Structure 1
Amino acid sequence: MPRTRPRTRLALSAALVAATLAAAPAAQADSGGRHGGPGHSGKDAVRFATFNASLNRAEQGALAEDLSDPGDGQAAAAAEVIQRTRPDVLLVNEFDYDDQGRAAELFQRNYLSRPQDGADPIRYRYRYSAPSNTGVASGFDLNNDGRTVTEAGEPGYGDDAFGFGAFPGQYGMAVYSRYPIDRDAVRTFQTFRWADMPGALLPTDPETGEDFYSEAEQKALRLSSKSHWDVPIRLGAGRPVHLLAAHPTPPGFDGPEQRNVARNHDENRFFADYVSPGDSGYIYDDKGRRGGLRPGSRFVIAGDLNADPDDGDGHPRATLQLMEAHRVNGGVRPTSEGAPQAAAEQGGANDEHTGDPALDTADFGEPAPGNLRVDYVLPSRGLPVADTRVFWPAQGRPGAEAAARASDHRLVWLDVRSPR
C-alpha cells in the first residue's frame, strides 16, 4: 500500500550495528540460487521468503476470477519472481482471502505450476490461509468523521473496518510451503484487542489530550490490521520452525493523532513480545490459549512490516524493537544490486534518506516517501543463516522486468541450514 512523506529517522543503535557486523552473512546482489529440490546454498538449506505480491483486487471474488485462467499479466509476473527465487516456505502479503481457498489454489495451478518467461515451474504441496481483519465492519466510527459505516462498498467503509479494506479479506495473507504445515498447532491472533497490550500506544487527540477512541471502541478494537499468525513448519523429524507472519498497517493515512503510526508500532511490538518469555504473558490467541512462543522454539519472523528503521513516516522504534529483541537475529541485512540503482536514478526523497539504499525492499517512487526497507525475514538466534538477499535485479538482468510489473515491493529471502 502507498506511503506518505519521508521523515528522517533515528540512526541504528550501536548495539544493533555491532550485531549486524558480527552476524550479517554475505548478501551479494540478486541471484535466486540453485534449486534441485529443497535447499539452495547447500543441500541442507531451507529458503524462507516474504513477498508483498499486490495480489489484491478492488472487489470481492475478483482475484479468484483473475486467476481462473493463466492470462493475468500481473499475476504471471508475481509467479515469475517466485519461480526465479524458489522459496521453500513463502509468505505472500496482499493476497485476497476467500474462505474456500480458491484464489490460492488457482494461483498455484495456473501460474506457479506453469513456466513464466523461461523460469521453471514450482509446486507447493502445502498452503495455509485464514481470515483477516481487513474489511471486517467494526460497527464504530473509527476514523471519527461523524459517520459509522457498516456495509462494504459504502464510502468510508474501509476506515471504519477493523483493518482497512473494501471487503472482508482484502489485502489478506497466504503461506505456501514445500514442507508440511502443522495445522493443528497453528495459532492466530486476529481478535486480540489492542487495549489488552500493556503500555499500548493508543492514540490521543492532540488538541484535547483525550483518548482518540472511545471506551466502547477500545473494548472492541483489534490490534492486528490483518492478523498475526504462528505457523509451525515441519522441516524434519525434530522441532518445527515457526513462521511468524504479519502485515502491520502502513504508518499513514491518519490525522494529527497518528493512530496508524501508533498501531504499526504496536503491531510490530507484538511479535517482539511473543518471542520473549518475560514479555508475552498478556497474549492470547483466537482459541483463548494464553502466552507466547515456548522458550527454545525456533522461528522466522516474516512480512511486510511497513516500517523502515531509518527513513519514512513510521515510529522510529517500530522495527528496531523487533530487531533488537533478545531472541531475534536482527543483524541479517539482505541487499540487492537494483535498489541502490533505483534510488540514484529516482532521486527526490531518496536523496534525503539516511539508510543504506541497498537494503531497500519497496519502490514507492515519487512523490515521497521514496524507496524504503519495509519487508523482513528475521530468524531466531541459533538458526544458522547461509545467505539472505532482496530480489531486486539491476536493470537488464533476468527477472528485473517481472519484479517491477508484479508489485511495488520486492521479494526478500533467507536461507537457513536445515535444523535437525
Structure 2
Amino acid sequence: MLAAPAQGQTLRLATWDPGLTRDGPGLLLRDIERDDPQVLAAAQVIAALRPDAILLTGLDWDLDGRALAAFADLLKAQGHPLPHRHAGPPNRGVQTGHDLDGDGRAGQPRDAQGYGAFTGQSGLALLSRLPIASVTDHTAVLWRDMPGHRMPDGPHADVQRLSSSAHWDIALTTPAGPLHLLAMAATPPAFEPRNIARNHDEAAFWLDHLPDAPFAVIGNLNLDPVDGDGDPAALAALLAVTQDPEPRGAWQPPQTGPNADHQGDPALDTAEYDRPPGNLRLDYILPAQGLRVIDAGVLWPAPGDPLAEAVALASHRKLVWVDLDLE
C-alpha cells in the first residue's frame, strides 16, 4: 500500500527515470500533446505518489522547455500541480567535435559530452511544489579539473566534461529553511572502458561540494553497491557523510534467470532488466546525516495492484521516494 502523501512539515522527495525520452528532438512534446499512453502512465505514477519535489532523470530537454511545461500541465490536470521547475541544458548529445571513442568517426552519440543522439536527449528536470531559491550548475566542469579524478589518459582532456548529464545544486525554499538537492544522473559503468572511472567520479564529485546546509544527494547514480559492474568506492564515501534510508519495494519479481546469482537485497532494486546483469539498485536519495527520515520506498507494486499497470508501462526504472521531517 502506498504511503500517505507528505503533509505539514514533512517533505516528500522523489527521483525517477520515467522513460520520457525519444529518438529525435521534438518527438517527446509531440507524444505529450497526443496523450501517448506511456506519457500518461508516467504522469499517473507521479500523481499517485504526490511528491513535493521530484527529479526526473530521463526527460528530453528542449531550449524553450516546452516538453517539461506540457508534462507539468499533465500533472496539474491529474490533480498534482508542481509549478516550480528547473531543466538546464544537459551534456547529453552536446557534440565535442572530436572522436572521443576512437572509432574513426566524429559526431556520433559516444562523441558527445554525454551519450546522446541529439542535444538534450534524456536530460534532467526538477518539478517542485516548493519555490526554487537558487541553482548552482556544475555541468560544464571539465573532468580533468576534478581533484583526484580517474580520467584515463587521452588526447581530449581539454574538452571532456565530467558530467555525462548534469550536476546541479538546487536549493529549495522550505518552511524550515533551504534544502539543497545535489542532483545528478551518472553514466552506466559499461559500454566503454572509461565509463567505470567516469561513473565513479560523477558520484565522488559531490564529496568536494557538500553545502554547509541541509542537503540530499538525489538521482541516478547508475551503480549497484553489490551486483553488476562498477566501482562502489565513491558511493561508499558518500554513504559515510549521508544516511541511506534503504527504500524498499512492496514486491519483486522471482529471483531467477539473470537475478539468480545476485547478492544484494532485491527489495532495494530500482531497475528491472530481463537480461544480464538483471535487476539492480541504481537510483538513490541520500539525505544528510542531520535530517530525520520518516519513511522511504521504491514504487514497485505487485501484479494486480491498481497502479501496477501504469508503473510497468511507464518505465523499466522504479520511482524512489523519501519522506523527511523538517521540524
Same fold (TM over 0.5): yes
Please report how far the alpha carbon of residue 398 of structure 1 lies from its aligned counterpart in structure 2 after TM superposition. Answer: 2.1
Q: Considering only CA atoms, is the larger Rg found in Structure 1 or Structure 2?
A: 1
Alignment counterpart, residue 92 of structure 2, candidates 134, 147, 151: 134
* Per-residue deviation, residues 368-411 of structure 1 (Å, max 9, x unmatched): 01000000011011111110001101111121111111001000
Query: What is aligned with 1:229?
Result: 168
Please report how far the alpha carbon of residue 147 of structure 1 lies from its aligned counterpart in structure 2 after TM superposition. Answer: 2.2
Structure 1 contact 179–234 (Cα < 8 Å) conserved: yes
Structure 2 contact 14–53 (Cα < 8 Å) conserved: yes
Question: Counterpart of 2:158 in structure 1: which amino acid?
Answer: K
1:162 is aligned to 2:125: no
* Per-residue deviation, residues 251-282 of structure 1 (Å, max 9, x unmatched): 1111xxx201110000011112221xxxxxxx
- Following the alignment from structure 2 to structure 1, what is the Cα–Cα distance between the partners of residues 207 and 184? 12
1:321 is aligned to 2:256: no
Please report how far the alpha carbon of residue 304 of structure 1 lies from its aligned counterpart in structure 2 after TM superposition. Answer: 1.1
Partner secondary structure for residue 136 of structure 1: coil
Alignment counterpart, residue 261 of structure 2, candidates 329, 336, 352: 352
- Following the alignment from structure 1 to structure 2, what is the Cα–Cα distance between the partners of residues 361 and 322? 19
Question: Counterpart of 2:27 in structure 1: which amino acid?
Answer: A
Query: What is aligned with 2:185?
Result: 247
Partner secondary structure for residue 132 of structure 2: coil
Question: Counterpart of 1:403 in structure 2: which amino acid?
Answer: V
Please report how far the alpha carbon of residue 113 of structure 1 lies from its aligned counterpart in structure 2 after TM superposition. Answer: 2.4
| Superposition RMSD in Å | 1.3
Partner secondary structure for residue 195 of structure 1: helix
Q: What is the number of residues matched between the two proteins? A: 327
- Following the alignment from structure 1 to structure 2, what is the Cα–Cα distance between the partners of residues 114 and 201? 46
Please report how far the alpha carbon of residue 349 of structure 1 lies from its aligned counterpart in structure 2 after TM superposition. Answer: 1.9
Query: What is aligned with 2:26?
Result: 61
Question: Counterpart of 1:137 in structure 2: which amino acid?
Answer: Q
Query: What is aligned with 1:97?
Result: 61
Query: What is aligned with 2:217?
Result: 301
Please report how far the alpha carbon of residue 418 of structure 1 lies from its aligned counterpart in structure 2 after TM superposition. Answer: 2.2
1:52 is aligned to 2:17: yes
Partner secondary structure for residue 174 of structure 2: coil
Using CA pairs below 8 Å that are at least 6 residues apart, which structure has the higher relative contact order? 1
1:145 is aligned to 2:94: no
Partner secondary structure for residue 53 of structure 1: coil
- Following the alignment from structure 2 to structure 1, what is the Cα–Cα distance between the partners of residues 207 and 227? 21
- Following the alignment from structure 2 to structure 1, what is the Cα–Cα distance between the partners of residues 85 and 227? 34
Alignment counterpart, residue 302 of structure 2, candidates 387, 394, 397: 394
Partner secondary structure for residue 272 of structure 1: helix
Alignment counterpart, residue 83 of structure 2, candidates 125, 128, 145: 125
Alignment counterpart, residue 194 of structure 1, candidates 126, 130, 143: 143
Partner secondary structure for residue 321 of structure 2: strand
- Following the alignment from structure 2 to structure 1, what is the Cα–Cα distance between the partners of residues 51 and 132? 15
Query: What is aligned with 1:361?
Result: 270
Structure 1 contact 252–261 (Cα < 8 Å) conserved: yes
Partner secondary structure for residue 265 of structure 1: helix
Structure 1 contact 343–371 (Cα < 8 Å) conserved: no
Structure 2 spans left out of the alignment, 5+ residues = none
1:265 is aligned to 2:200: yes
Structure 1 spans left out of the alignment, 5+ residues = 1-29, 116-120, 150-156, 204-210, 276-292
- Following the alignment from structure 2 to structure 1, what is the Cα–Cα distance between the partners of residues 254 and 65? 38
Structure 1 contact 124–176 (Cα < 8 Å) conserved: yes
* Per-residue deviation, residues 287-319 of structure 1 (Å, max 9, x unmatched): xxxxxx2x2x00111111100000111113242
Partner secondary structure for residue 113 of structure 1: helix
- Following the alignment from structure 2 to structure 1, what is the Cα–Cα distance between the partners of residues 142 and 223? 22
Query: What is aligned with 2:76?
Result: 113
Question: Counterpart of 1:168 in structure 2: which amino acid?
Answer: T
Query: What is aligned with 1:377?
Result: 285
Structure 1 contact 194–223 (Cα < 8 Å) conserved: yes
Query: What is aligned with 2:251?
Result: 338
Please report how far the alpha carbon of residue 343 of structure 1 lies from its aligned counterpart in structure 2 after TM superposition. Answer: 4.1
- Following the alignment from structure 1 to structure 2, what is the Cα–Cα distance between the partners of residues 219 and 138? 10
TM-score (norm 1): 0.76
Structure 2 contact 50–80 (Cα < 8 Å) conserved: yes
- Structure with the higher strand share, 1 or 2: 2
Please report how far the alpha carbon of residue 137 of structure 1 lies from its aligned counterpart in structure 2 after TM superposition. Answer: 0.7
Partner secondary structure for residue 87 of structure 1: coil
Structure 2 contact 21–59 (Cα < 8 Å) conserved: yes
TM-score (norm 2): 0.97
| Identical-residue share of aligned pairs (%) | 43
Please report how far the alpha carbon of residue 248 of structure 1 lies from its aligned counterpart in structure 2 after TM superposition. Answer: 0.4
Partner secondary structure for residue 409 of structure 1: coil
Partner secondary structure for residue 234 of structure 1: strand
- Following the alignment from structure 1 to structure 2, what is the Cα–Cα distance between the partners of residues 390 and 414? 9
Structure 2 contact 72–83 (Cα < 8 Å) conserved: no
Query: What is aligned with 1:173?
Result: 124
Partner secondary structure for residue 11 of structure 2: strand
